[in-house]
Chain A
Amino acid sequence: MLKALIIGCGRVGSSIALQLQKEGWEVTVVDENEDALSRLGDHWPGVFLVGHGMDVELLREAGIEDADAVVVATDGDNTNLVIGQVAQKRFGIECVVVRVLDPARADFYSARGMRTVCPTKTAIDTLTEAVRACELPVPSRASV
């Protein structure tokens, strides 16, 4: 069975955890706040650990050494970027996916070989596309 470690159990992290679990993964979730467990429903069959993702001992306890995939989705971009690099460089995990809200930092770290996902960029693209889809008369370009 494939093993996933999810760090950060907010709306994003918890949904990914539930989805992967449904698809047959063995999922461990880490969050600083124990109330976050409620986001995983009433009968979470996986492991849930309370602690900070920067804590190497906690990561070990969460089974990072055997993880096939690590998803880092806490609410801090820089925290995610550092934990992601620790998972990659210290524990040698190949599939590390990191949420980064700031598009500039997402680009910078993605150019350095990190799988960053930037919801802000996705939102910008999707929203722009939605505006285009309204099929309004094409505006004439402002002359420079």
Chain B
Amino acid sequence: MYVVVAGGGKVGANVARSLLRLGSEVTLIEQRRDRFDRLEEEFEHQVQRGDATEIHVLERAGLARPPDIVLALTGDDEDNMVICQIAKEKYGVPKVIARVNDPRNQAHFDLLGISPTICATSSIMALVEHEVPEHDLIHLLELRKENLEIVEVQIDRDSPSAGKRVEGLDLPEGARLISVMRAGKAEIAVGSTMLEPGDQVLAILEPGKEDELRKVLLHR
């Protein structure tokens, strides 16, 4: 397997090292001179210096072969998005994985069709939520492979969603309501389903979207 890793910080360097240990062929790209010098001692010819969003740097790293996978792991989200777009669309790289540094940029990665992504902040927040659940949003199920989770929320009188139809809610991208439980009876949530105080709502969402969902349904 040939892997190009863009970004030689802690994340990129550790990933590159692990891949090499597994027997992959790896090229690591790092822009900063001080970092590059240190990496070169360890990775020798397997690290190249340059801006991984520049076409000639990518070509020197063998993007035209193309690699089996490109990992965009720099500390800059815009750079990671552009690296993935160029890799996929210019060189036909079959798989890319991007690091999201600022979880607020997740929506931009989604918009540009860059997937899968990995965001340390979101993962940590999901774990915090899982370990110390806020009582207003209960994690019921984690679908790790699908990168989705199912949560339960109780609507109360002050909730901004009470008295609204599902289709009228500004739900975050990557979140859907599944069902509404009222007076012991569950119904599939459809666009015309009206939410009422006391409803227990099941939702499916991408981990890390809890806060956005909470804001729309509960305003907290």
B-contacting residues of A (Cβ < 8 Å)? 54-56, 76-79, 81-82, 85-86, 89-90, 102, 104-105, 108, 112
* Residue of A with least CB distance to B58: A104
On whether the beta carbons of A82 and B78 are closer than 8 Å, the reply is: yes
Q: Give the distance to chain B from A38, nearest Cβ to Cβ, in Å.
A: 26
Assembled-state Cα–Cα distance A88/B109 (Å): 14
Q: Tell me if B78 and A76 are in contact (CB < 8 A).
A: yes
Asked if A81 and B78 make an inter-chain contact with CB atoms under 8 angstroms apart, the answer reads yes
Q: Which of B54, B77, B108 has the most CB of A within 10 A?
A: B108
**B161 located at the interface, meaning its Cβ lies under 8 Å from any Cβ of chain A in the complex:** no
State in angstroms the CA–CA spacing of A54 and B82 once bound together. 14
Q: Are A55 and B108 in contact (CB under 8 A)?
A: no
Q: Among the listed A56, A82, A104, which residue makes an inter-chain contact with B55, where contact means beta carbons less than 8 Å apart?
A: A104
Report the minimum CB–CB distance from A91 to chain B (whole Å): 10
Verify B86–A78 contact, CB threshold 8 A: no
Contact B90 A55 (CB under 8 A): no
Confirm or deny: B104 has a beta carbon within 8 angstroms of a beta carbon on chain A. Answer: yes
Whether A105 contacts B111 by the Cβ 8 Å rule is no
On chain B, the number of residues with a Cβ less than 8 Å from chain A's Cβ atoms is: 19
**Which residues of the other chain, A, contact B107 by a CB distance below 8 angstroms?**
56
Residues of B within 8 A of A (CB): 53-56, 76-79, 81-82, 86, 89-90, 104-105, 107-108, 111-112
In this complex, what residue of A is CB-closest to B81?
Answer: A82
Q: Can you list 19 contacts pairing A with B, beta carbon distance less than 8 Å?
A: A54-B77, A54-B108, A55-B104, A56-B107, A76-B78, A77-B82, A78-B53, A78-B78, A78-B79, A78-B81, A78-B82, A82-B81, A85-B112, A86-B108, A102-B54, A105-B53, A105-B55, A105-B82, A112-B89
Cβ–Cβ < 8 Å partners of A112 in chain B: 89
A residues near B55, Cβ cutoff 8 Å: 104-105, 108
Closest-CB distance, A107 to chain B (whole angstroms): 9
A54 touches which of B78, B79, B89 (Cβ 8 Å): B78
For the complex, give the distance between the alpha carbons of A79 and B80 in Å: 10
